[in-house]
């Protein structure tokens, strides 16, 4: 019996990715079915369903599940789930579809899945506003007041995504035909849950932490990973390799920079670099819960949660993503409850007077002695050609990042918000 945390939902990994002859037969059938065009965010969700990373989901959610997730943090059957997983379709695409019918999901001209339509519901204004307010509204300054929807519609990429969805939401189980270019683009890094679990078993790990990354890895990230490495069997540096927002650094660049750091500053037998194909939702606390849930399916029982996890702007309180783990409902049934726990770590920084990495819990000195480490701040400095302060990032990583920025013809303006400014500033 495995010593790893079991997959979420109590039924093992629910893998919906076809291979071999079954894939060939389904691909031929897909050519004759009605088609729904999907975008990158839905394709990322589809792959996560396909490889078992979103176990126990076997497809896209219907209205009852979506509403229960928003209101109660669980699917309609009571299984914990923090964020809706939605397939959207236009009126033209959904017209004429009926329950029981099969459709083909198409991404950039390629048939990537078939789906049995169990339900078709309209994504009306009430449905969209419920999701925006329940999933994306936090306790930060940008979420304050009655004008949240107005502000978020302008400034929050996750809210804009929900508001931009097409009119209908077909729901039902999928049979996936493709993982896109991820296996070819990220060999040895793009690992399915079963593959990462096999590697963890091979290493004899049972207490495993994940470091979630969507920014370049700087000294604070390194410090977080090493704290986890002191108390766990090992650490998975688990990078998002799906789509980000404008101004973020492409996954391939970040993967190369991380590899340089791991080779130079980590014990090889105690760290794994991996990636997953999801797009960011920037849902702050709710997304931290999703990050923990799918890590459970990868065999990871702890998620490092620091400041402003999965945040954007000042929509969330700095440690709101830590606090939400204590507030979610628990049924007492391990098959239905979230089992991966947060490893909560305070704001970290380099302190000149301590002469090393520290946190608000361990360093008594003031803001003037601290080098505040932030992925957003690092991107801003590099994008503007600014000097990166000592102890902000390792030279091996900076070499890769500077090479990337030097090759850009156009640069996106990057704004610093409260979470990037630092404590005491």
Query: What separation, in Å, do the N-terminal and C-terminal C-alpha atoms of the chain show?
Result: 51
Q: What is the dihedral of CA 286, 288, 289, 290, to 10 degrees?
A: 90
Backbone conformation region of residue 63, classed left if phi is above 0, alpha if psi is from -120 to 50, else beta? alpha
**213: its two tokens:** 């990354």
DSSP output for 173-214? EEEE---TTHHHHSTTTB--HHHHHHHHHHHT--SEEEEEES
**69: its two tokens:** 């997730």
For 340, phi then psi, to 5°, come to: -70, 130
Spatial neighbors of 416 by CB under 8 A, at least 6 apart, are 374, 376, 377, 380
In sequence order, what E strands does 323-362 have? 341-344, 348-351, 356-359
- How far is residue 237 CA from its own chain's centroid? 13
H or E element, residue 116: strand 110-116
Backbone conformation region of residue 46, classed left if phi is above 0, alpha if psi is from -120 to 50, else beta? alpha
Give the catalytic positions in this structure.
214-215
392 and 219 Cβ atoms separated by less than 8 Å: yes
**407: its two tokens:** 């090759």
In sequence order, what E strands does 216-337 have? 234-240, 271-276, 302-305
For 63, phi then psi, to 5°, come to: -60, -45
**219: its two tokens:** 């000294």
- Cα 152 to Cα 278, 294, 307, 421: the distances in Å are 22, 26, 21, 21
Which DSSP letter does residue 102 get?
Answer: E
């Amino acid at each position: 019996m495995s010593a790893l945390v079991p997959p979420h939902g109590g039924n093992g990994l629910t893998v919906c990715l076809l291979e071999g002859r079954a894939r060939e037969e389904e691909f031929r059938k897909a050519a004759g079915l009605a088609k729904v065009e999907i975008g990158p965010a839905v394709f990322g969700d589809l792959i996560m369903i396909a490889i078992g990373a979103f176990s126990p989901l076997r497809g896209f959610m219907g209205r009852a599940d979506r509403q229960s997730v928003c209101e109660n943090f669980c699917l309609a059957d009571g299984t914990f789930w923090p964020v809706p997983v939605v397939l959207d379709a236009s009126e033209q695409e959904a017209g004429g579809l009926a329950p029981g019918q099969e459709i083909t999901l198409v991404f950039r001209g390629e048939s990537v899945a078939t789906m049995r339509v169990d339900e078709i519901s309209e994504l009306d204004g009430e449905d969209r506003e419920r999701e925006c307010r329940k999933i994306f509204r936090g306790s930060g300054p940008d979420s304050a007041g009655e004008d949240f929807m107005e502000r978020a519609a302008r400034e929050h990429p996750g809210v804009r995504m929900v508001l931009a969805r097409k009119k209908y939401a077909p729901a039902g189980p999928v049979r996936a035909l493709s993982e896109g270019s991820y296996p070819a683009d990220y060999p040895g890094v793009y690992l399915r849950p079963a593959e990462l679990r096999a590697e963890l078993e091979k290493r004899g790990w049972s207490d495993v932490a994940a470091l979630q990354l969507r920014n370049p890895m700087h000294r604070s990230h390194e410090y977080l990973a090493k704290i986890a490495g002191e108390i766990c069997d090992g650490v998975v540096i688990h990078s998002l390799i799906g789509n980000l927002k404008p101004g973020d650094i492409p996954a391939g660049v970040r993967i190369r920079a991380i590899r340089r750091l791991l080779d130079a500053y980590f014990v090889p037998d105690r760290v794994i670099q991996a990636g997953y194909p999801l797009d960011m939702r920037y849902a702050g606390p709710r997304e931290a819960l999703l990050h923990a849930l799918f890590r459970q399916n990868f065999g990871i029982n702890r998620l490092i949660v620091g400041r402003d996890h999965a945040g954007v702007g000042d929509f969330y309180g700095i440690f709101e993503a830590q606090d939400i783990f204590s507030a979610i409902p628990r049924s007492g049934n391990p098959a239905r409850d979230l089992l991966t726990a947060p490893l909560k770590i305070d704001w970290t920084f380099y302190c000149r007077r301590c002469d090393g990495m520290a946190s608000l819990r361990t360093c008594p000195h003031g803001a003037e002695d601290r080098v505040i480490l932030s992925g957003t701040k690092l991107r801003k400095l590099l994008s503007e050609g600014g000097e990166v302060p000592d102890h902000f990032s390792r030279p091996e990583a900076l070499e890769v990042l500077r090479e990337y920025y030097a090759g850009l013809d156009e640069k996106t303006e990057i704004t610093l918000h409260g979470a990037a400014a630092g404590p005491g500033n």
